[in-house]
Amino acid sequence: MPKGMVPAYGALGLPLAFAALPLYVHVPRYYAETTHLGLALLGAILLGARLFDAFVDPWLGWLADRLPHRRMLAMALLPFAIGFVALLNPPSSFVSLWLLASLTLTYLGFSAASVAYQAWGVSLGGDSAERTALTAAREGFGLVGVLLAATLPSVLASSLSQGTQRLSWVLPPLLLIAAVPAFAKLGPGSSLPHSNEPLGQSLSRALRDTAFRRLLGVFIANGIAAALPATLFLFFVADVLGAASASGPLLAVYFVAGAASMPLWVRLAARFGRVRAWGLAMVLAMFAFAGAGLAGSGDIAGFALICLASGLALGADLALPAAIAADLGERQGQAGICFGVWNFVAKLNLALAAGLALPLLDRLGYRPGSAHNLSALTFAYALLPLGFKFVAATLLWRWRDSLEIHR
């Protein structure tokens, strides 16, 4: 692999991840506070846009198998940047239409760029080891982007809303800084075979691959295990630990540990195989979930260690399964459709986690800000994910031979 290829490719993951956090975390609160849009209408618009975002991914993946990846990526970056700036700078009138249009444009550009970017990495990597290194670099830079997006609003302004608005103007220069070296230093990569199959046939061919179906099964169970605590983290820190103000530093520990662990997981995967390395990370995460189940009021230091351990496991979750998916996509000759399905499942995991955890907590009697039924919150935050992680680890070990791919 040519010198400098891995960081030149990975750096583009930073601005993509930088925009993802505001899209999913800041936008609901920002519009509720600054535009006074009704919560029911706001929720309906967000739900519709997110469903569109998830279900368009397989089509974008199919498209990525028929267009040069660099060209598709370049075409997607402009609407992505324009949509993101527009999204966080709404007018005083026609707010709901502005939100719907800008969200749709941003999601379309973001998803098209993400799928093309992932497929480009497959074509750049000559073998499994190179694709693992490229995937780890992409996800490592992505975690740095998440940290930037999480911390900059408070730096850019005294109020969160104003800081979020100013955040929109940071994305275009970040994209430019990352994209210019990538397009200048990296070629188109090896050409993958193209076909004239319609979307349905291409999607069917991807899902007929036994190894890909099994990988998706592990990814779904493992993804729900990760998405549940992500959904409930702020509730857990505020109500179980009684330390709402510590949520920012604890999140920083988690993401920094994830980013710092990437090289370690790449080395372990090269020595022991990606499946075994990923399985080790799952065991580490299960210990972390078990520890979280024992946490109580004031256990900040202990929970910081739990965040450190689960952050280390996060590094493997981001680097290794996507690298296996890259090999399967290369084997099928349609990396785009494979990553389209992959991204669809990742977004579905987030939706399933919220759809499972929040109604469950409501039924069990937990109320945010109350000390009543905190055991229900602990169950949903720590013990339920522990169960899903155990299922994922069991499936991974059972299917280890078909998922340990060397190409």
What value does the mean pLDDT take over residues 335-353?
Answer: 84
If we measure between CA atoms, which residue out of 217, 220, 197 comes closest to residue 337?
197
* 219 has pLDDT over 90: yes
Give domain limits for the chain: 1-190, 199-400
**What is the separation, in whole angstroms, between the first and last Cα of the chain?**
15
What value does the mean pLDDT take over residues 321-334?
Answer: 86
More confident call, 191 vs 392: 392
Please give the Cα distance from 216 to 345 (Å, whole number): 8
CA 262 to chain centroid: 15
- In this structure, of 97-101, 139-143, 367-371, the range with the lowest mean pLDDT score is 367-371
**Cα dihedral across residues 49, 50, 51, 56: positive or negative:** positive
Count of Cβ atoms closer than 10 Å to residue 101 Cβ: 15
Instruction: Compute the mean pLDDT over every residue in the chain, rounded to the nearest whole number.
Output: 87
192 confidence band (pLDDT: 50, 70, 90): low
User: What pLDDT is stored for residue 212 in this prediction?
Assistant: 92
CATH superfamily of domain region 1-190: MFS general substrate transporter like domains (1.20.1250.20)
Count of Cβ atoms closer than 10 Å to residue 108 Cβ: 19
Q: Which tokens in the block code for residue 58?
A: 């397989």
Over the stretch 72-125, which tens digit does the pLDDT of each residue have? 999 999 999 999 999 999 998 889 999 999 999 999 999 999 999 998 988 887
Please give the Cα distance from 207 to 341 (Å, whole number): 9
Q: Which residues contact 241 (CB under 8 A, 6 or more apart)?
A: 295, 296, 297, 298, 299, 300, 303
The single-letter DSSP state of residue 191 is P
User: What pLDDT is stored for residue 286 in this prediction?
Assistant: 97
User: What pLDDT is stored for residue 354 in this prediction?
Assistant: 67
Q: Which residues contact 73 (CB under 8 A, 6 or more apart)?
A: 113, 116, 117, 120
Q: Which residue has the tokens 């499946």?
A: 275
**pTM listed for this prediction:** 0.81
Largest CA distance in the chain: 60
- Number of helices and strands in the chain (H, E): 18, 0
Please give the Cα distance from 193 to 158 (Å, whole number): 53
User: What pLDDT is stored for residue 4 in this prediction?
Assistant: 78
23 confidence band (pLDDT: 50, 70, 90): confident
Please give the Cα distance from 72 to 84 (Å, whole number): 18
User: What pLDDT is stored for residue 39 in this prediction?
Assistant: 64
The full length of the chain comes to: 407
CA 296 to chain centroid: 29
* 193 has pLDDT over 60: no
Which amino acid, one-letter code, is at 295?
Answer: A
* 268 has pLDDT over 90: yes
Over the stretch 160-187, which tens digit does the pLDDT of each residue have? 778 888 999 999 999 999 999 999 888 8
* 191 has pLDDT over 60: no
What value does the mean pLDDT take over residues 275-283?
Answer: 96
Which of the following CATH numbers is that of domain 199-400: 1.10.150.530, 3.40.50.300, 3.30.230.10, 1.20.1250.20?
1.20.1250.20
User: What pLDDT is stored for residue 38 in this prediction?
Assistant: 76
Assess whether the region 1-190 and the region 199-400 belong to the same CATH fold: yes
